[in-house]
Amino acid sequence: MDWDDDDAPPDLIETGATAEAEVDEKLVKVPITIVTGYLGAGKTTLLNYILTARHGKKIAVIMNEFGDSLDIEKSLTVNKDGEAVEEWMEVGNGCICCSVKDTGVNAIESLMAKKGNFDYILLETTGLADPGNLAPLFWVDEGLASTIYLDGIVTLVDAKNILRSLDDPSGKVEGHDDSDHGDEGPVMTTAHVQISHADVIVINKTDLVTDTELETVKERIGSINGLAKIHVTKQSAVPELEGVLLDLHAYDQAEELDRAGKGHSHLDKTISTLSIPLPVLTEGQLEAVDAWLRSVLWDNVLPSDEETDQSLFEIHRLKGRLVLSDGNEKMIQGVRELFEIFDKPNPGAEASLAPGKDAGKMVIIGRHLDKYDFERSLLEAVRKSP
Ligand SMILES: Nc1nc2c(ncn2[C@@H]2O[C@H](COP(=O)(O)OP(=O)(O)OP(=O)(O)O)[C@@H](O)[C@H]2O)c(=O)[nH]1
Ligand SMILES: [Zn+2]
């Protein structure tokens, strides 16, 4: 995907409102939740469940099915007064992860303009989409970022078939050729990528597996993504929507960091979760963490490891909490090479950890992490800095 600046900027919404009202509208951004998952996992079932559940929200659903026609129309279901209303929307290209930057952005914005205020947008991606391509768009596109924000990524998993999908070499992600890794383990499939990016994983179709099989599935998924909340369902019926699937604020909080405390797992070497405890940082050490992230995420180079000519790791998702010696806290959010460090929202809402203890944490989800010593590299970079 390219990030050319010469693309036509997305149409801005004409509000016709006063300057004061515009300021107000800017403050109320509409959340968007990406629903992904393998073919037939139960995404549509989940969307229908959400649309018919009582939540008092006006939800717009954008379906992103694969199509071979270039001007394929997207089905758009709008929940109006408890009724699902089907509409059709022109998106342009058959693959939203490639086209969302231009046509998709326009589609969402014209949707916003046409419908006025939605409370919520759900985007169902095709069973083959890589959500890693999709999520950063909601950060970097200014037109889009002014009206909506990415609330979270929900990945549906078919309990009966997920293990096969994870091990199926034909489900390999395009552009991830494992041939250069020799016998270094299983290939990385689309199923891996969808699980590694998820903020919430819904293990669905549990009526089709035994309890033992379900435990195996849970363990395997937990070994790939130790951060995501896991829910187990039949017919995609999650126990609750608020805070479980919707309104997660997965990208402006990092409460779930504490869940990923068990270090990294060796159950699934293809993609794993790594958790690095961090000390209280000085201002200079914060800068060192920033520099470390730039090296690791932008150059794919582990700073202590420069002599290694090939860094084969891939980082899909990264979150962190940094505690500074002046008492402030910062959060880190990263998807692929994009990351940001920002002030923790609601400072003081949570009691800070006692000084001297490990105060912060960085959690990394990615591929071939077990082959490198990320912890040593990061802590060394921190220690070397004043
Ligand atoms: N046995 C069983 N079937 C289910 C469950 N949930 C959904 N299904 C069925 O599985 C099939 C696929 O469900 P969908 O919701 O269409 O799956 P999807 O992920 O949207 O599928 P694609 O859009 O093709 O990727 C449908 O026939 C559903 O009725 C479940 O918990 N158990
Ligand atoms: Zn694409």
Q: Which atom of ligand 1 is nearest to the CA of 233?
A: 31
For ligand 1, atom 6, name the residue with the nearest CA. 235
In short, whether 236's Cβ falls inside 6 Å of ligand 1 is yes
Question: Which 3 state secondary structure label does DSSP give 78?
Answer: strand
List b or e across 214-236, with b for residues whose CB sees 16 or more CB atoms inside 10 angstroms: eeebbebbbbbbbbbbbbbbeeb
pLDDT in tens, the chain (386 residues): 343 444 444 333 334 344 444 444 445 677 888 888 887 788 878 887 887 777 777 777 776 544 332 233 344 444 445 444 444 443 333 333 333 444 455 556 666 665 555 678 888 776 556 666 666 666 655 555 567 778 888 999 999 989 988 887 666 654 444 444 333 445 567 788 889 888 899 999 999 999 999 999 999 999 889 889 999 999 999 888 877 888 887 776 655 566 554 444 445 567 788 889 999 999 999 999 999 999 999 988 888 765 655 678 888 888 888 999 998 889 888 877 878 898 876 654 444 444 445 578 898 888 888 888 999 999 999 999 88
Q: Is the ipTM of this complex over 0.85?
A: yes
In angstroms, rounded to a whole number, what is the distance separating the alpha carbons of residues 78 and 100? 20
Protein residue with least CA distance to atom 25, ligand 1 = 39
User: Is the Cβ–Cβ distance between 330 and 286 less than 8 Å?
Assistant: yes
Domain 263-383 class in CATH: alpha beta
Ligand 1 within 6 A of CB of 267: no
* C-beta 161 within 6 A of ligand 1: no
The domain locations on the chain are 12-252, 263-383
User: Residue 250's beta-bridge partner residues?
Assistant: none
Sheet with 338-343, side-by-side order of all strands: 271-278, 360-367, 314-323, 329-335, 338-343
CB of 48 shorter than 6 A to ligand 1: no
Which ligand sits closest to the CA of 46? 1
Pocket flag, ligand 1, residue 37 (CB < 6 Å): yes
Closest atom, ligand 1, to C-alpha of 41: 19
Is the Cβ atom of 279 under 6 angstroms away from ligand 1?
no
Please tell me the distance between residue 204's alpha carbon and the centre of ligand 1 in angstroms: 9
The ligand placed nearest to the CA atom of residue 202 is 1
> Is 12-252's fold the same as 263-383's?
no
**Residue whose CA lies nearest to ligand 1 atom number 14:** 42
> Rounded to the nearest 5°, which phi and psi values hold at 102?
-100, -70
In short, whether 92's Cβ falls inside 6 Å of ligand 1 is: no
Cβ neighbours around 60 below 10 Å, total = 25
Enter the tokens of residue 313: 């790791």
CA separation for the pair 331, 342 (Å, rounded): 5
Q: Which helix or strand (DSSP H or E) is residue 225 part of?
A: none
Please report the pLDDT score of residue 296 as a whole number: 93
Q: Is the CB of 45 under 6 A from ligand 1?
A: yes
Classify domain 12-252 by CATH architecture. Answer: 3-Layer(aba) Sandwich (3.40)
What ligand has the least distance to the C-alpha of 1? 2
pLDDT at 258: 60
